[in-house]
């Protein structure tokens, strides 16, 4: 039986833009909708500056968060990349600050995007494996510190975007099998996988692998599921296409309310049985009126585990 650790909602750095009044309004709204927790992106709060915690600001954030009954997880900055060598020291420092932030707010889990490499390494398998090994080394080190604090690290699978399609960028996280392999090689009990169903659906359609089967392969490592809908169609045209037009054509990683796209959620939840998992709705902020309906949808999915 799968233990559900709660159903939460993603925070919106693009909405907050460092404005703590908007942040508080978002917390209040999310609690009123009925979510158990929020996945907090510290890059929306200006709490990490030059790789280090801004403690004065942290105290203001903690004071605001303390007004609400929500629990908290953390989504590390999307730019955090432990496979990037040139600025590896600052990347590592930022990750430790994310860990400290998580501890300070009583967070339970950190989501980290699977590492990416530039085009010069895409076709060099030896270089790619070396960089993956360097990522594993740093993640093991950070995981040991996180374990002392009772914090889980969860590596998120990647989306096939235009840079990957053009061969200018690559992430092993577009393949669930490779993500599972990375987690197995890290071999730490508090390092698992965030399965982003939208990312996986798009990647499986573009790369031609079995959507449900790939998720089943990683089920024993899943500790967080990102839930949002899409149509499984890559945006291979232009990454500057406005969101309002992407919706019309069904392009890209849309973060739609559940049921608005065609991801077969019921089939996925009927076949996977992770030991435990958080369920995190990751919805575009323009769809706030649909949050309640998507929350109810997610609760029904829980009954399929």
Confidence band of 193 (pLDDT split at 50, 70, 90): very high
Go through the chain and tell me how many residues it has: 305
Q: Residue 174 has what pLDDT?
A: 97
**pTM (2 decimals)?**
0.97
DSSP character string of 244-280: HHHHHHTBS---BPTTSS---HHHHHHH---SEEEEE
Q: Using CA atoms, how far apart are residues 87 and 164, in angstroms rounded to an integer?
A: 21
Into how many domains does the chain fold?
Answer: 1
Q: What is the CATH number of the domain that holds 67?
A: 3.20.20.150
pLDDT at 125: 85
Question: Over the stretch 93-106, which tens digit does the pLDDT of each residue have?
Answer: 999 999 999 999 99
Task: Answer yes or no: is pLDDT of 120 > 80.
Answer: no
What domain range includes position 280? 3-302
Report pLDDT for 241.
Answer: 96
In whole angstroms, how far apart are CA 143 and each of 73, 137, 174? 16, 10, 23
Convert the pLDDT of each residue in 208-266 to its tens digit: 999 999 999 999 999 999 999 999 999 999 989 999 999 999 999 999 999 999 999 99
Residue 123 has a pLDDT of 78
């Amino acid at each position: 039986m799968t233990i559900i650790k709660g159903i939460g909602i993603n925070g919106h750095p693009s909405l907050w833009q460092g404005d703590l009044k908007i942040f508080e309004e978002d917390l209040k709204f999310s609690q009123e909708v009925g979510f158990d927790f929020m996945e907090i992106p510290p890059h929306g709060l200006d709490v990490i500056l030059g790789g280090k915690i801004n403690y004065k600001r942290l105290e203001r954030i903690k004071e605001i968060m303390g007004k609400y009954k929500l629990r908290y997880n953390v989504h590390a900055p999307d730019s955090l990349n432990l496979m990037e060598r040139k600025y590896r020291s600052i990347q590592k420092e930022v990750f430790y600050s994310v860990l400290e932030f998580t501890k300070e707010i009583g967070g339970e889990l950190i989501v980290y995007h699977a590492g990416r490499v530039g085009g010069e390494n895409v076709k060099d398998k030896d270089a790619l494996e070396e960089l993956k090994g360097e990522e594993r080394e740093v993640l093991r080190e950070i995981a040991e510190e996180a374990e002392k604090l009772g914090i889980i690290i969860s590596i998120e699978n990647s989306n096939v975007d235009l840079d990957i399609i053009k061969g200018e960028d690559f992430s092993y996280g577009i393949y669930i099998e490779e993500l599972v392999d990375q987690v197995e090689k890290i071999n730490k009990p508090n390092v698992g996988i965030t399965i982003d169903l939208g990312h996986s659906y798009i990647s499986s359609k573009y790369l031609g692998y079995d959507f449900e089967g790939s998720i089943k392969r990683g089920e024993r490592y899943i500790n967080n599921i990102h839930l949002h809908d899409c149509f499984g169609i890559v945006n291979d045209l232009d990454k500057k296409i406005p969101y309002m037009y992407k919706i019309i054509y069904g392009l890209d990683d849309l973060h739609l309310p559940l049921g608005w796209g065609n991801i077969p959620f019921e089939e996925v939840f009927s076949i996977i049985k992770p030991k435990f998992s958080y369920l995190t709705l990751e919805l575009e902020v323009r769809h706030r009126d649909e949050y309640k309906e998507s929350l109810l949808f997610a609760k029904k999915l829980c009954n399929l585990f």
